[in-house]
Structure 1
Amino acid sequence: VDIATAKTIQAAAPLQYVGVLRNAKPETITLPVERLGLHALQLHGSEDAASIHALRPTLPTQCQIWKALPVGAHAPKLDLSDVDRSVLDSEAQGQFGGTGRTFHWAFLEGLPLDNVFLSGGLNPDNAESAQHLGAAALAFNSVFESAP
């Protein structure tokens, strides 16, 4: 959505908002973050540690950085050194996020999940099982969206 639409939404529901971006150029990120007073940015593309490290000083200090990590056939590498949170989401046939599918939760056994949001195919039927994994939060998105 554009900034004007986002401001209208914010005025109607004063909450903490998260901007979800995918492979955005760093120079296009700062202005919307400042204008909207975003609580966090969720980076949902191929951003690497170097680009995240370079982005951090351009953001307001209160804006957190969340990095979405695809989970497919292998456990994800959780590197929280440059991000405030990781968001684990399903990868299916080259599509990352918005699949409406869960991933193999056994990959998470033994991993520190206190700064991890669990996403990917969560719905009312599996929410209780997901809660027992110990993630910091559960992200219910695709079950409520009409499109990714």
Structure 2
Amino acid sequence: MKIHTKICGITRPEDAIIATQLGADAIGLVFFAGSKRCVNIAQAQEIVCVLPPFVSVVALFVNETAERIHDILTQVPIDILQFHGDESPEFCRQFHRPYLKAIRVQQPADIQAALTHFTDARAVLFDAFVNGTYGGTGHTFDWTMLPENLQGHWILSGGLHADNVADAIRTTGACAVDVSSGVELTAGIKSPEKMAAFMHAISHF
């Protein structure tokens, strides 16, 4: 079983190149000003330019205005939108792009509610809940809250790194994972060694 992987919070072209050489299926660009991994349009354009064919570009937003999202989409070739705030399904689908909806899991009910509510999402992304923070926290959540044979398309995120991702996949049955802080030297600066170790850890599935 191939485990699909997104490396999020890319801020430098050189990190994007290494991520894709190591086999990442997608890279994530953060357009949330409250994140240490936020990129501007010029940075995003430089990163996208170095990507090989068939690597997806995911743009992450948190409670952003529709106007700014449309503006970014006219300037940066984005494949998938990721919404990490309190966006409604109606808001997410208005851009006529595939989208991911991130859910910060606090209790088991959050999991099924998200899959029921966001039925047209490409996938729901389950992340750890940290008050006042939207992603990239380095925290995990209780993976056993995910029911066995969970139906629908979903992605596991939150505090993943080379030393725990294999256990996370075995515990949850995830077929897609999202990593950011777990492969970094500092916020937004990826470590080639940590990325390589992460990709190696999931290569045995």
Which of the numbers 134, 137, 141 marks the counterpart of 2:173?
Answer: 134
Note if contact 1:89-1:119 (Cα within 8 Å) is conserved in structure 2.
yes
Note if contact 1:119-1:139 (Cα within 8 Å) is conserved in structure 2.
yes
Note if contact 1:114-1:135 (Cα within 8 Å) is conserved in structure 2.
no
Within 5 Å, give how 1:16-95 maps onto structure 2: 16-53=56-93, 55=94, 58-59=95-96, 63-76=97-110, 77=113, 78-79=115-116, 80-95=118-133
TM-score (norm 1): 0.83
- Taking the aligned partners of 1:41 and 1:50, their CA distance within structure 2 comes to 14
Does 1-10 or 115-124 show the bigger shift?
1-10
Does 130-139 or 105-114 show the bigger shift?
105-114
Structure 1: gaps of 5 or more residues: none
For 2:50, the aligned partner's letter is: A
Deviation at 1:66, TM superposition (A): 0.4
Note if contact 1:45-1:68 (Cα within 8 Å) is conserved in structure 2.
yes
Q: 1:28 to 1:50 in 2, by over 3 A?
A: same
For 2:71, the aligned partner's letter is: L
- Number of corresponding residues: 142
Structure 2: gaps of 5 or more residues: 1-38, 189-205
Percent identity, aligned pairs only, is: 32
Q: 1:144 to 1:75 in 2, by over 3 A?
A: farther
Please say if 1:144 is aligned against 2:178: no
Is the helix fraction higher in 1 or 2? 2
Note if contact 1:84-1:115 (Cα within 8 Å) is conserved in structure 2.
yes
TM-score (norm 2): 0.62
Note if contact 1:21-1:44 (Cα within 8 Å) is conserved in structure 2.
yes
Which of the numbers 77, 91, 103 marks the counterpart of 2:141?
Answer: 103
CA offset digits 1:10-41 (Å, max 9, x no partner): 11223321001111111221232243221101
Deviation at 1:103, TM superposition (A): 0.3
